[in-house]
C-alpha cells in the first residue's frame, strides 16, 4: 500500500472513532440518549419500551448549590448540607430489531443512571 492510502485510512478511522457513540449512550433514530436524561425525554426520543418494571427504591443524597440540585462526590460521608431522598428505581428494555442490540435502561427518580446492552433484538 502507498503511504498516502495508509494515512487516509488512519484519518478516516480516527474520524469514525470521534463520531462513535460513547459506551454510556446510544442512538434512537438520529438522537442520542445518554446518562442524566429524564425518563420523559427518553420516551419522547425512543417511544415506548417493550418492557418496564419496578425494581424498588434507593436512598440518594443530594445538596443544593447555586439554586441547583447536585450529587455529592463519590465517597463523601453524610454530613451537614446534604439531604437524602428515597427514589423509585425502574428498568426499561428497548428492542430495536434483530440487527441492533437491545438496551436496558435503569432510572432512579426518573433520571437515567445506566445503559447496558443485552444482545441482539428480535422481530415483534
The CATH number covering residue 108 comes to 3.30.1450
CA gap 49, 34 in Å, rounded:
16
pLDDT digits (tens, 9 = 90+) for 68-109: 666 666 655 656 667 788 999 999 999 999 999 999 999 999
Q: Is 54 among the domain residues? A: yes
Strand-pair partners of 91: 53, 106
pLDDT of residue 24: 67
Total-model pTM: 0.69
Structural domain containing residue 34: 22-58+85-120
Is 4 a domain residue? no
Q: For residue 68, is it within any domain?
A: no
Question: What is the predicted pLDDT for the residue at 84?
Answer: 81
Kindly indicate the confidence band of residue 40, based on its pLDDT and cuts at 50, 70 and 90: very high
Report which of residues 115 and 69 the model is more confident about: 115
HSE of 119, CA atoms in CB hemisphere, 13 A: 1
Q: How many domains does the chain have?
A: 1
Amino acid at each position: 500500500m502507498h503511504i498516502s492510502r495508509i494515512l487516509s485510512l488512519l484519518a478516516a478511522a480516527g474520524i469514525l472513532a470521534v463520531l462513535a457513540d460513547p459506551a454510556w449512550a446510544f442512538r434512537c433514530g438520529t438522537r442520542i440518549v445518554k446518562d442524566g436524561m429524564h425518563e420523559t425525554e427518553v420516551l419522547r426520543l425512543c417511544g415506548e419500551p417493550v418492557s418496564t418494571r419496578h425494581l424498588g427504591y434507593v436512598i440518594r443524597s443530594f445538596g443544593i448549590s447555586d439554586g441547583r440540585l447536585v450529587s455529592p462526590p463519590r465517597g463523601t460521608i453524610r454530613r451537614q448540607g446534604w439531604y437524602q431522598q428515597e427514589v423509585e428505581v425502574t428498568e426499561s428494555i428497548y428492542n430495536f430489531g434483530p440487527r441492533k442490540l437491545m438496551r436496558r435502561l435503569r432510572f432512579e427518580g426518573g433520571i437515567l443512571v445506566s445503559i447496558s446492552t443485552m444482545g441482539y433484538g428480535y422481530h415483534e
